[in-house]
Amino acid sequence: MNHFLHGLVKTVAQTWQCQSPVLDIGGFLVQGQESLCDLRPLFPGKEVLGLDFRQGPGVDLKGDAQALPFANGSIPTLVSMSCLEHVAQFWKAASEMERVLSPKGIALISAPFYFHIHNYPSDYWRFSPQAFELLFGKTTTRIVGWQGSTKRPLNSWVILFGKDREPPKKSDLSHFVKTLNFNCSEPIGWVRRGVFEVLALAIGRRVFSPWLDRNRWELRAHGVAGESSFVEVSSKSPHLIQ
């Protein structure tokens, strides 16, 4: 979990109506990251239920993401940030998330692509945007995006809309994009940025892109306004939404 992803959750909550309860899969608050991982303040007035395979801070219910203890279509709002990489059989967890999501619900799921091994307690997988397209392709209306450079994204994420939920309008997507640019900012010290910019000029930007492009994002929205085609938007061209 980082500042960008925290802002992404905030942006979803501010753009679309999220009904209670909010299920946070992987809700364990890692020591030192409590302010970023605690999503409760982002859903004021809503019940947030933290689920994790171990007890601890932020965990209201002990459970397995590969076999969620909820009925089909019973969860109106589902969030899972930086969790799938720790799930041994991640495809089962992805299927379970789609199973329990309400037909009129909304879900936000993220996972890293370019990141160091972080054992909480184990770290198995990395996910490209294409992986999320494949994993959640059964959901007709969805927004798949990523943080960072195109060739080396830091994190991939997807927003799923329940099959009976009204598809987002292009005005909704436009508001989401503007709010995303406002909320999502991953800090980098000016000294470090200056050094990387100089080195990038000398030996090429590619090596330093995970740092220099950490506030860049792109997305592909499927089923916006009920259309079968998709809309592509990036942080450099948010005005392309018509």
Torsion of CA 190, 196, 201, 204, to 10 degrees: -150
Nearest CA among 80, 112, 113 for reference residue 96: 80
Q: How many residues does the chain have?
A: 242
Q: Average pLDDT in the 141-146 region?
A: 96
pLDDT at 240: 52
pLDDT per residue as tens digits for the range 38-70: 999 999 999 999 999 999 999 999 999 999 999
Supply 23's token pair: 């299920």
Q: Locate 66 and state its tokens.
A: 């590969």
Look at residue 121 in the predicted model and tell me its pLDDT. Answer: 79
The mean pLDDT of 194-218, rounded to a whole number, is 91
CATH homologous superfamily for 3-187+217-240? Vaccinia Virus protein VP39 (3.40.50.150)
Provide the percentage of residues in the chain whose pLDDT is more than 70: 97
Residue-level pLDDT at 235? 86
- Asked which of 16-20, 90-94, 147-151, 222-226 is least confident by mean pLDDT, the reply is 222-226
Question: 19 in helix, strand or coil?
Answer: coil
Per-domain residue ranges for the chain? 3-187+217-240
Output the average pLDDT for the chain: 93
Residue 227 has pLDDT above 80, yes or no: no
Task: Determine the Cα–Cα distance for residues 72 and 181; give it in Å rounded to an integer.
Answer: 35
Q: Give the pLDDT score at 108.
A: 98
